């Protein structure tokens, strides 16, 4: 291999890993603008719609921990290629789905593929790049791979507007082909497993059970109630599985999650910041997308296009943020990113129904986009710099599982808060209207649909207008409350980052691992 090939090799691998991990972020966000389309074309009910979104996140949250550790032991390249094959297969299943259950199964399989792709791609970067350029490469990987999350709603909106929803999933196939082609350069270097110890199957089983049961309970609790016997049973079972998981990690020769990782204050604090920030992002943007489409009347394409600044900022500032982290350390960029994210969500709470996007929402979009751009690289740098090189994919899996679990829990919990506040506000306003018993009963039954509540066509115009104002007003009231909570979570994350994350005396990612 000549000098030119040696120089190009890391770039090809970096591009492959960025695109591969980007498939995971793309899959998480691409369906959000298509939910009404699934209702009309697949006859999906409300529960089906929830699972189309949640099956993906449930799979990736429950499996990321195991996938990261498995990648460390089996070899990052093998797991990465396996993830690509499963991703392509799952995308085809989703594209040919003829009923909701098939699409839900395909989405779960996509989540499994993403659980393999994300930690193994970062493991490849951390293993293949030389010590002097590893920190810079990790920063670029974290920033550019996250661009996939911003592209998801845009691709989804374009597919619905100009083609069919099936193209939302078929777009993955050419990406997989390109990544496989880029990996051809990997023939120059063999990537060996990072551990010869047997895989911790008991730990993997308990971790999947704990995360899976907990997230399942979080998804179902808004529908059946937090005190329902099924919900309580799931939570108790998740707790038991979690205790058993910790016990296996203490006793295992080669634990799935070395608990000594959490002896590092930086590692523990970074995961807390990740959890709070992604709770803010998950729950906050969940209600914002509903408000933009159902209340402000934006089309799916327009709502998806709102995420364009997130992609541009995350990708456009990747080099600058990575360089900044290397110069001054991760604390200030991380704390500032979380602070801007929180202020952005507070700003989202200000506009009224009908307020111009440019005046009402653009400032919040820019603030949250810049906040996310500042968050991504420092979190990855802290996580990867706090552990031994041989645990790189494991650390990535833990942090990614924390982020996915945060999104799942926040959508479930903040979604339940959103509905409860909407129902309370709407019920109080209905009490003040002099409606007939029949119309009053009908409207109270319709509140479960929130902004999609149907007003009878024979309702007198003045009363219909009052009911429309009641629905939109109650929805915006509930939305503002959730956005304030989301903003508060990010502010808390900023404080924790500033107080507990230290700047290392040297960049751990620029040093050769001697463990």
483 pLDDT tier (thresholds 50, 70, 90): very high
Rounded mean pLDDT, 106-127: 82
Rounded mean pLDDT, 40-44: 75
Residue of 151, 130, 110, 132 lying closest to 19 (CA atoms): 151
Asked whether the predicted pLDDT for residue 176 surpasses 80, the reply is yes
**CATH homologous superfamily of domain 1-188?**
MFS general substrate transporter like domains (1.20.1250.20)
282 pLDDT tier (thresholds 50, 70, 90): confident
Q: What is the pLDDT of residues 51-65, one digit of tens each?
A: 787 788 778 777 777
Domain residue limits, the chain: 1-188, 204-255, 422-475
Residue 385 in tokens: 């710099």
Rounded mean pLDDT, 131-137: 66
pTM (predicted TM-score): 0.77
pLDDT at residue 306 in the model? 85
Packing angle of the helix pair 76-95, 46-74 (nearest 10 deg):
160
Q: What is the pLDDT of residues 292-334, one digit of tens each?
A: 887 888 888 888 888 788 777 876 776 777 777 777 778 888 8
Helix, strand, coil shares, percent, the chain, to 5: 85, 0, 15
Distances (CA, A) of 217 to 207, 228, 237, 420: 15, 10, 10, 18
Long-range contacts of 322-329 (CB under 8 A, 24+ apart): 322/135, 322/136, 322/139, 322/140, 322/143, 322/377, 323/136, 325/135, 325/139, 325/377, 325/378, 325/381, 326/135, 326/136, 326/139, 326/507, 328/503, 329/503, 329/504
Rounded mean pLDDT, 461-480: 89
Q: What is the pLDDT of residues 250-259, one digit of tens each?
A: 887 767 677 7
Q: What is the pLDDT of residues 54-111, one digit of tens each?
A: 788 778 777 777 777 677 677 777 888 888 999 899 999 999 888 888 999 999 898 8
Rounded mean pLDDT, 2-11: 49
Gap between the Cα atoms of 62 and 115, Å rounded = 9
Gap between the Cα atoms of 238 and 217, Å rounded = 9
pLDDT at residue 510 in the model? 43
Gap between the Cα atoms of 327 and 139, Å rounded = 13
Q: Output the average pLDDT for the chain.
A: 79
The percentage of residues in the chain with a pLDDT greater than 90, rounded to a whole number, is: 14
pLDDT at residue 142 in the model? 65
Gap between the Cα atoms of 477 and 464, Å rounded = 20
Asked whether the predicted pLDDT for residue 272 surpasses 90, the reply is yes
Rounded mean pLDDT, 221-239: 82
């Amino acid at each position: 291999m000549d000098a030119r090939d040696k120089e190009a090799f890391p770039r090809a691998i970096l591009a492959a890993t960025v695109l591969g991990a980007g498939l995971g972020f793309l899959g998480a966000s691409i369906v959000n603008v298509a939910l009404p389309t699934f209702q009309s074309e697949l006859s999906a009910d409300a529960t089906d719609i929830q699972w189309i979104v949640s099956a993906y996140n449930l799979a990736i949250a429950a499996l990321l921990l195991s996938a990261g550790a498995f990648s460390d032991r089996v070899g990052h390249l093998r797991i990465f290629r396996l993830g690509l094959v499963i991703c392509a297969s799952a995308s085809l299943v989703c594209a040919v789905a003829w009923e909701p259950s098939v699409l839900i199964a395909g989405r779960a399989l996509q989540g499994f593929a993403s659980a393999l792709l994300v930690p193994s791609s970062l493991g490849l970067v951390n293993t293949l790049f030389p010590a002097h350029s590893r920190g810079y490469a990790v920063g670029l990987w974290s920033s550019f791979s996250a661009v996939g999350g911003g592209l998801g709603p845009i691709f989804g909106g374009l597919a619905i507007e100009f083609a069919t929803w099936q193209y939302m999933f078929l777009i993955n196939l050419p990406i997989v082909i390109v990544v496989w082609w880029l990996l051809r350069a990997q023939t120059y270097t063999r990537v060996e497993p990072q551990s010869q110890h047997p895989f911790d199957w008991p730990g993997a089983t308990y971790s999947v059970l704990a995360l899976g049961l907990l997230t399942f309970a979080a998804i179902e609790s808004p529908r059946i109630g937090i005190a329902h016997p099924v919900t309580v049973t799931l939570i108790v079972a998740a707790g038991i599985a979690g205790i058993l998981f910790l016990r296996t990690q203490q006793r295992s020769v080669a634990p799935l999650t070395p608990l000594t990782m959490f002896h590092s204050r930086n590692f523990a604090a970074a995961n807390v910041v990740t959890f709070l920030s992604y709770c803010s992002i998950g729950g906050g943007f969940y209600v914002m997308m509903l408000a933009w489409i159902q209340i402000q009347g934006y089309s799916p394409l327009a709502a998806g296009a709102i995420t364009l600044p997130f992609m541009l900022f995350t990708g456009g500032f990747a080099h600058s943020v990575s360089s900044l982290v290397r110069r001054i350390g991760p604390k200030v960029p991380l704390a500032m990113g979380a602070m801007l994210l929180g202020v952005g969500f507070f700003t989202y709470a200000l506009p009224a129904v009908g307020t111009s996007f440019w005046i009402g929402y653009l400032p919040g979009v820019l603030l949250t986009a810049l906040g996310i751009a500042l968050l991504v690289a420092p979190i990855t740098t802290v996580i990867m710099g706090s552990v031994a090189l041989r645990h790189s994919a494991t650390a990535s899996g833990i942090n990614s599982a924390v982020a996915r679990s945060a999104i799942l829990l926040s959508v479930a919990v903040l979604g339940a808060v959103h509905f409860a506040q909407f129902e309370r506000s709407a019920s109080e306003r209905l009490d003040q209207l002099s409606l007939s018993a029949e119309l009053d009963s009908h409207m109270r039954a319709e509140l479960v649909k929130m902004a999609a509540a149907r007003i009878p066509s024979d309702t007198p115009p003045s009363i219909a207008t009052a009911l429309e104002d009641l629905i939109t007003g109650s929805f915006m009231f509930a939305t503002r409350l959730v956005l304030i909570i989301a903003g508060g979570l990010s502010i808390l994350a900023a404080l924790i980052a500033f107080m507990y994350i230290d700047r290392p005396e040297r960049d751990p990612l620029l040093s050769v691992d001697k463990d």
